[in-house]
Amino acid sequence: MKTDTKTSLFGVIGDPVSHSLSPVMHNRAFSEIGYNAIYMAFHVTDLASAIKGVKGLGIKGLSVTIPHKVSIMSLLDEIDEMAEKIGAVNTVVNKEGKLFGYNTDCLGAIHALREKTDIKNKNILMIGAGGAARAIGFGILSDGGNLTIVNILEDEGKVLSSILGVPYYHLSEFSRLEYDILINTTPVGMSPETNRMPIKPLDLKPDKVVMDIIYNPLKTMLLAESEKIGCSTVDGVSMFVHQGAAQFEMWTGKKAPVKIMRKTVLKEL
Report the catalytic residues. 69
First-to-last alpha carbon distance for the chain, in angstroms, is: 22
Query: Residue 47: how many CB atoms within 10 A of its CB?
Result: 17
Q: Is 130 in contact with 138 (CB distance < 8 Å)?
A: no
DSSP character string of 37-49? EEEEEEE-S-HHH
| Parallel/antiparallel/unpaired status of strands 91-95 and 61-64 | antiparallel
**Rounded Cα–Cα distance for residues 247 and 26 (Å):** 9
**Rounded Cα–Cα distance for residues 206 and 74 (Å):** 45
Q: Is 45 in contact with 15 (CB distance < 8 Å)?
A: yes
Interior CA angle at 11 toward 6 and 13, to 5°?
150
Q: Is 54 in contact with 92 (CB distance < 8 Å)?
A: yes
Phi and psi based region of residue 207 (left: phi greater than 0; alpha: psi -120 to 50; beta: remaining): left
